[in-house]
Amino acid sequence: MQAHPSPLAIPDFRAFWIARFSAVLATMSMVVILGYQIYDTARADYGMSVREASFYLGLVGFAQFVPLFLLTPVAGWVADRFERRLVARLANGIDLVIALSLGFATASHALTLPLLFGLAALHGVARVFLGPSMTAIAPNIVPPAVLPRAIAMSSIAWQSASVGGPALAGFMYHVDPALPYWIASGFLVLSMLALTPIRRIMPTAMSGSNHPIRQMVDGLGYVRTHRFLLGAITLDLFAVLLGGATALLPVYARDILHVGPEGLGWLRASPAVGAAVVALWFAWRPLHHNVGVKMLLGVAGFGAATLAFGYSKSMMTSMAALIVLGGMDMLSVYVRSSLVQLHTPDAMRGRVSAVSGLAISASNELGELESGLLASVLGPIGAVAFGGIGAIAVAGIWAYLFPEIRRARTFDLPETALPEAVMQEKPA
């Protein structure tokens, strides 16, 4: 039997991989420096205290959440209705305008908080359209038998860029504050060029039932009536909403650990290192037993690592805690995403995925707002510690409220656990 080729042996996928890696590297570089500049500008130019400036860091998440919340239903519809390469290039083009604007403003010492927040919100618009369009390209350019390996290779592009982008940005900022934005601009241009040789992907015909708002309403209704899905999705939502510490990393880099923007890059990259290690481990040794309990333990471990980071005064200890945090987050995400797919009938997967995607966006971006608000009251250390304790509490409470999660033993869904909609569709 002939072995299936490597996805990278397919020219279209090779171009896609370069485009994805370049886009993620560029945006990760921009985001880490943007957060540092907002905090530093608030402290140095506006004379704010640590708590006041921390609150503004939280507002960055809110500025990006608004377009994500408003446009997420539309973005999936656009990715299905229009040529996906074009949508991805336009999203990259918006980020290119942002990178160039930040580069010129940094070089000319013209940074202001309104400018930084406006560009952060615009980045949220670009991000909400780039994700669905890029994700939807891969299944159209590789044979079905190669798709699992293509997805794994795409994840490697994401994780490696998530590690390299922040670390590279911190080093470049140390050389010249505007340099990260110039380099990010170059990678965004590379991403746009790499998408060009990929063959044109024509949109498929859509029925009225594919209206984006209708999809979201249907997905919400299904999740609300299916306890396992409701528990799994809200577990991630509330754990990350409470336990997210990344929004306050600029505070730790500047005023607690005193490592500056270069150290911030390493701090921001650390969770991705942990996530990559765990992802590679699962690729080699997949989970087989007690997967629901392990998902809950992953959330509790995420909270414990957050708590350890909150009280750390050492750069090495902080990085170690963040690496563990990223690994525990990957554990819970890996199990949750697999189980959600298993517990969702095929006819509902798109709509449930839209709900899950919105929950992830809400937890990440609103988690930043929550961290900033708490830091303005409790201080940054108190805010991170509160979040860690909250994530541990969520794991315990959800284990009690949703015993269906604890009872999930394997990824092989037994017939008795099949959703009612699936059971009704099974042939006699």
Q: Which tens digit of pLDDT belongs to each residue from 219-256?
A: 778 888 888 888 888 898 888 888 778 889 999 999 99
Query: How many angstroms separate the CA atoms of 318 and 252, rounded?
Result: 9
Question: Are 112 and 29 in a shared domain?
Answer: yes
| Of 28, 147, 154, residue with least CA distance to 99 | 28
pLDDT digits 0-9 by tens, 151-208:
777 777 888 898 889 989 999 998 999 999 999 999 999 999 999 998 887 665 554 4
| Of 425, 405, 415, 395, residue with least CA distance to 227 | 405
Q: Among 197, 221, 241, identify where a domain stops.
A: 197
Question: Which of the two residues, 172 and 284, has the higher pLDDT score?
Answer: 172
Q: Is residue 426 part of a domain?
A: no
Please check the confidence at residue 414 and state whether its pLDDT lies above 50: no
Q: Is residue 416 part of a domain?
A: no
pLDDT, the chain, mean: 85
Exposed e or buried b per residue across 333-351, where buried means at least 16 C-beta atoms within 10 angstroms of its C-beta:
bbbbebbbebbbbeebeeb
Question: Are 276 and 390 in a shared domain?
Answer: yes
Tokens read off for 253: 């880099």
381 close to 311: Cβ distance less than 8 angstroms: yes
Query: What is the reported pLDDT for 115?
Result: 97
Question: Are 240 and 135 in a shared domain?
Answer: no
Q: Is residue 94 part of a domain?
A: yes
Query: What is the reported pLDDT for 203?
Result: 62
Residues across the chain:
428
- Whole-prediction pTM value? 0.82
Cα 90 to chain centroid, rounded: 20
Q: Which residue has the tokens 């939280």?
A: 58
Segments forming the whole domain that contains residue 86? 7-197
Question: Are 226 and 353 in a shared domain?
Answer: yes
| Neighbour tally for 397: CB within 10 Å | 12
Q: Among 197, 227, 262, identify where a domain stops.
A: 197
Q: Is residue 315 part of a domain?
A: yes
Q: Is the dihedral angle over the CA atoms 155, 157, 160, 163 positive or is it negative? A: negative
Question: Are 225 and 185 in a shared domain?
Answer: no
Q: Is residue 334 part of a domain?
A: yes
Q: Is residue 204 part of a domain?
A: no
Query: How many angstroms separate the CA atoms of 303 and 75, rounded?
Result: 32
Question: Are 321 and 275 in a shared domain?
Answer: yes
Q: Is residue 69 part of a domain?
A: yes
The count of domains in the chain is 2
Question: Are 288 and 394 in a shared domain?
Answer: yes
Query: What is the reported pLDDT for 335?
Result: 82
**Which CATH number fits the domain that encloses residue 99?**
1.20.1250.20
Q: Which residue has the tokens 């940094």?
A: 106
Q: Is residue 424 part of a domain?
A: no
Question: Are 193 and 318 in a shared domain?
Answer: no
88 close to 138: Cβ distance less than 8 angstroms: no
Please check the confidence at residue 140 and state whether its pLDDT lies above 50: yes
Tokens read off for 7: 């996805």
Question: Are 382 and 342 in a shared domain?
Answer: yes
Please check the confidence at residue 80 and state whether its pLDDT lies above 80: no
Question: Are 251 and 349 in a shared domain?
Answer: yes
Q: Among 153, 170, 197, identify where a domain stops.
A: 197
Question: Are 340 and 248 in a shared domain?
Answer: yes
